[in-house]
Amino acid sequence: MLDLKNKGLTALQDLSKQDILDILSHAGEFKNGLRKNTLDGKVLASCFFEASTRTRLSFESAVARLGGKTIGFADGSSTSQSNKGESFIDTLRMLNCYADGLIMRHPNDGAARLASEVMTIPVINAGDGANQHPTQTLLDLFSIQDSQGSLEGVNLGLMGDLKYSRTIHSLIDASKLFNMRLFLIAPPELRIASENLHELRRHGISYSFHSTAEEVIDRLDCLYLTRLQKERFNGNLDCEYGISLKTLEKAKPNLSILHPLPRLEELPTEIDDTPHAYYFQQAQNGVYVRQALLDIIFGE
Ligand code: CP
């Protein structure tokens, strides 16, 4: 994992299947109580140019649990870039002077890759536009493995905004490595982009299109829902989708429902008390996975 140590993580494709399995295995050790001080004396910049609750706070929790400190901002509007016309590149150069690593979320596709080219410290992509959210995918994979016992051959339903959701794009990349069978459930306006479809075909991944979860619920091991990513397109898209208790009537006993959160009406709170609800555990797994990743990047 040489690149991970030198450059950090900007896209899921930067990791081999074995790298991913090693990170998940290490995350399991943190979940089981492993304590380490890898970041003792280190300062990480936590810079979120776009809103976040889970990713920022779970990263900052992971840094603190590893003995490190964070500097940064939760809102790019307070920076000299926003208020004094400083360039993004110069902002990155400054961060390079002040921190041992950068955790960054940005509204622009490719911002993390650009940062990793400009900076000498490791850069971790905490979400860039509609492009990638690799650490979300690592915690999603951890959650699938934790709830199903394995990643191989899982029947995975991807439901909702398959077009604009970066978590979906990263998860589709991962599904190719683990021979998952994909059920793509979305209204016509939100169907998966043609380049993602091309990738699935190129890797021989089995997939099918569906309009509702009810059509396939009896075949799914995991159902991964996403909200409509309203911030990623202009204008209104008038499309409704979601699940209810009725949707789950024919679900397999092992079905786990995942969602990167935040949720909107696609995942009503009536689902929370069912044995299928896994999304809050999924969010908690974010701390263990991010501890594991930081330990690997910054450890000896
Ligand atoms: N899942 C996720 O990325 O949530 P936040 O936008 O709150 O970080």
Task: Tell me the three state secondary structure of residue 148.
Answer: helix
* Closest of 251, 245, 203 to residue 223, by C-alpha: 251
| Ligand 1, pocket residues at CB < 6 Å | 52-55, 127, 136, 260-262
| 8 Å CB contact between 181 and 156 | yes
Domains of the chain, earliest start first = 12-132+286-298 (3.40.50.1370), 135-283 (3.40.50.1370)
Q: Which two tokens stand for residue 298?
A: 């910054």
Is 106 catalytic? The answer is: no
* Closest of 204, 201, 223 to residue 212, by C-alpha: 223
- List helix spans (H) across the chain: 2-7, 17-31, 54-65, 80-84, 88-98, 111-118, 134-148, 166-175, 194-202, 279-298
Q: Which two tokens stand for residue 80?
A: 């000299």
Is 105 catalytic? The answer is: yes
Residue 107: the pLDDT is 94
Note the pTM of the prediction, 2 decimals: 0.95
For 241, the enclosing helix (H) or strand (E) is none
Residue nearest to atom 5 of ligand 1 (CA): 52
Candidates 26, 56, 65, 133; catalytic one: 133
Is 53 catalytic? The answer is: no
Cα(107)–Cα(13) distance, rounded to whole angstroms?
20
Residue 300: the pLDDT is 85
Q: Which letter, b or e, does each residue of 80-94 get, where b requires 16 or more Cβ atoms within 10 Å of its Cβ?
A: ebeeeeeebeebbee
The series of mean pLDDT values per 10 residues for the chain, 300 residues long, is 84 94 98 98 98 98 98 95 96 98 97 97 95 95 98 97 89 92 94 90 94 97 92 72 97 98 96 98 98 96
Q: Name every residue whose Cβ is closer than 8 Å to that of residue 262 and which is 6 or more positions away in sequence.
A: 53, 227
Residue 238: the pLDDT is 72
Cα(92)–Cα(105) distance, rounded to whole angstroms?
13
State in Å: Cα 106 to ligand 1 middle. 12
Which phi and psi angles does 36 have, rounded to 5°? -140, 155
- Axis crossing angle, helix 17-31 with helix 134-148, rounded to the nearest 10: 70
Residue 12: the pLDDT is 92
| 8 Å CB contact between 122 and 101 | yes
Ligand 1 atom, smallest distance to 283 CA = 1
Is 55 catalytic? The answer is: yes
Ligand 1 atom, smallest distance to 127 CA = 3
Identify the DSSP state of 150. -
* Closest of 50, 84, 34 to residue 288, by C-alpha: 34
| 8 Å CB contact between 251 and 220 | yes
Q: Which two tokens stand for residue 56?
A: 């920022």
Residue 181: the pLDDT is 96
